[in-house]
Chain A
Amino acid sequence: MSGFNYRAIWAIYKFELHRFRRTLLTGLLVPVITTSLYFVVFGGAIGSRMTQIDGIPYAAFIVPGLIMMSMFTESIFNASFGIYMPKFTGTIYELLSAPVSAVETIIAYVGAAATKSLIVGTIIFVTAHLFVDIRVAHPLAMVAFMVLIAVSFCLFGFILGIWAQSFEQLQVIPLLLIMPMTFLGGAFYSIHMLAEPWRTITLFNPIVYLISGFRWTFFGRGDVGIEFSLLFVAAMLALCLAIIGWMFRTGYRLKK
């Protein structure tokens, strides 16, 4: 038997989606509630005092940021958990002893996690429509961007899940790094609203480019040029793939 083990990919993909289905209620209800809360607080209470940002009504302005924020956390959480749990319970033995390549493993786990975060992103998008009227300037680009972001962050989560040796380590990067970077990355404001030197400092935050790029697909403009955003997504994808390639070549924390 040689060639591509697509049946293994399908088996893992189904297994992972089945795992999500067990927590379907919280998994889908949480983003809906969170989005609604953000609209009540930011859109309603604060947004009513702020007129517009870059000519966009505030409530609409925060939609791309909200979607991105949820997708970042969902992607990292689902992908890291997906590979960390077998390590934790010991069931990874089966994956390691199966005729499955590194590439097939990644496609399956990252594909499943990305699927879930795309579903969550879509739910938030739909929920947002209940609160605010949004027109998407570049719908195709929007979908493509969501897919790229989901895949990149799931790859990142996958790395995290392989690296982590405890539940605490699993949580520490998303909570201490990604969360603050997202909040400071212009999810709820335009970086042009910041005074110097913060505005320049913010430009070192890669999340700024991702959120700005996604906002561009909605409104045709962002904090930075769309080409920079694409560059950052591509760089992140390449970096994650390189790290994962190295991990599998060396057996890093998977094989002794």
Chain B
Amino acid sequence: MASIITVSGLTKSYASGFQALRGVDLEIEEGEIFALLGPNGAGKTTMISIICGNVRPTGGSVTVAGHDIVRDYRGSRSAIGLVPQELHTDAFERVIDTVTFSRGLFGKPRNDAYIEKILRDLSLWDKRHSKILELSGGMKRRVMIAKALSHEPRVLFLDEPTAGVDVELRRDMWKLIGELRQTGVTIILTTHYIEEAEEMADRVGVINRGELVLVEEKTALMKKLGKKTLTIVLAEPLSAVPPELGEWQVALKADGHEIEYVFDTQAERTGVSSLLRKLGDLGIGYKDLNTEQSSLEDIFVSLVHREKAA
């Protein structure tokens, strides 16, 4: 697949001296859903803002659909729809006016049929004559998406699309993003909800303290960095971990009824069979075994921590 966005050596230092981005390189492929993951203040919004034109880059370059964001900003910005994190709306405007306004702002000729289609797709058609201030938070978010889509962009940026949105609305939003993808739009979303990336993204980028720590196919990432937890339910509770089990670094859980062992699925020797043998040798009986794959969240936390330690 061809890249639609190319970020190379992108840096940003704010006037305060804070270095928000420290040389980011990234390729976004046309048609994919890319999740940019990172803790607060990692540089996610700064990166999006630079690509969209709201923040000036300090160094490096970005092209969108082949247009340099500085030299050919008209070309790059025409290709982008942006839904920012906060609900910035013109409270007194009507839904249909504000969406039509956005289309004009991006230099597109009027197209009532297309606007109607967007509003219908986003379940806003019935509310088209409502003033924005009369809408709920979830509906306002939809209005902002409609504005971003009004000029038929090839790339849609969603900055924290479900921040402060309740569980049901979040499900709605995920469904909506899935549907948008069917139309061929490339979607880049930032989030600090891991489950969001896990649910939707094709690829995941982890950004921490201004650096892109990792970019990977989501499934590959989970496999590669995946750890499994083996839970052994004991026949008789133990009061302490026997010293003979020291090399496995197991933990006693559930008031001594369970032993928990974390192992790396990629390791040459997982240590599972030797642990079970040792338990047999020690005469510790068990009733049940259970293994669990770690989630993207665990992967993420371990990545960010590893960074901090380094």
**Could you tell me which A residues sit within 8 Å of B by CB distance?**
1-2, 5, 7-8, 10-12, 14-15, 18-19, 22, 89-91, 93-101, 251, 255-256
Which residues of chain B are near A11, meaning CB under 8 Å? 101, 103-105
- Which residue among B84, B103, B106 has the maximum number of chain A CB atoms within 10 Å of its CB? B106
Cβ 8 A contact of A7, one of B55, B93, B104, B147: B104
Bound together, the chains give a CA A19 to CA B90 distance in angstroms of 10
Q: Are A98 and B14 in contact (CB under 8 A)?
A: no
Cβ A91 vs Cβ B89 within 8 A: yes
B104 in contact with A97 (CB, 8 Å): no
Q: Can you identify 18 A-B contacts, CB atoms within 8 angstroms?
A: A1-B74, A1-B75, A5-B107, A11-B103, A12-B105, A15-B101, A22-B92, A89-B88, A90-B88, A93-B84, A94-B82, A94-B88, A95-B105, A96-B52, A96-B54, A99-B74, A255-B56, A256-B15
Q: Please measure, in the bound complex, the distance between the C-alpha atom of A251 and the C-alpha atom of B54, giving whole angstroms.
A: 10
Other-chain contact of B80, A19, A22, A97 (Cβ < 8 Å): A97
Given contacts A97-B77, A97-B82, A99-B73, contact A91 B107 (CB under 8 A): no
Is B56 a contact partner of A251 (Cβ separation < 8 A)?
Answer: yes
B119-152 contacts to A, CB under 8 A, are: 147
Q: Is the CB of A99 within 8 A of B88?
A: no
With A8-B105, A8-B106, A91-B88 as contacts: A98 and B15 at CB distance below 8 Å: no
Known contacts A1-B78, A2-B75; A91 and B90 CB within 8 A of each other: yes
B109 interfacial by beta-carbon distance below 8 Å = yes
Residues of B within 8 A of A (CB): 14-15, 52-56, 72-75, 77-78, 80, 82, 84, 86, 88-93, 97, 101-109, 147
Q: Which residue of the partner chain, among A15, A99, A256, contacts B78 with CB atoms under 8 Å?
A: A99
How far apart sit A15 and B104, CA to CA, in the bound complex (Å)? 11
Chain B residues with CB under 8 Å of A7's CB are 104-105, 107-109
Are A97 and B75 in contact (CB-based, < 8 A)? no
Provide the bound-state CA to CA distance between A69 and B77, in Å: 41
The 8 closest A-B pairs by CB, nearest first: A11-B104, A90-B88, A99-B74, A97-B52, A99-B77, A5-B107, A98-B105, A96-B54
How far does the Cβ of B18 sit from chain A's closest Cβ, in whole Å? 10
A251, chain B: closest CB distance, angstroms: 6
Contact status B107-A93, CB under 8 Å: no
A94, B86: Cβ atoms under 8 Å?
Answer: no
Candidates A1, A19, A100, A256; contact of B105 at CB < 8 Å: A100
Kindly report which residue of chain B lies nearest to residue A95, judged by CB atoms: B105
Report the Cα distance A91→B89, complex, angstroms: 6
Query: A93–B54 Cα gap in the complex (Å)?
Result: 6
CA distance A98 to B148 in the complex (A): 10
Q: Which single residue of chain A is at the shortest CB-CB distance from B15?
A: A256
Identify A8's interface contact among B14, B53, B107, B109, CB under 8 A.
B107
By a CB distance below 8 angstroms, the chain A residues around B97 are: 18
- Which A residue sits closest to B54, measured CB to CB? A96
A97 touches B53 (CB 8 A): yes
Q: How far is the CA of A89 from the CA of B144 in the complex (A)?
A: 14
New A-B contacts (18) at CB < 8 Å, excluding given A90-B88, A97-B80? A1-B74, A1-B75, A5-B74, A7-B109, A8-B105, A8-B106, A18-B97, A90-B84, A91-B90, A95-B105, A97-B77, A98-B53, A99-B77, A99-B107, A101-B74, A255-B54, A256-B15, A256-B55
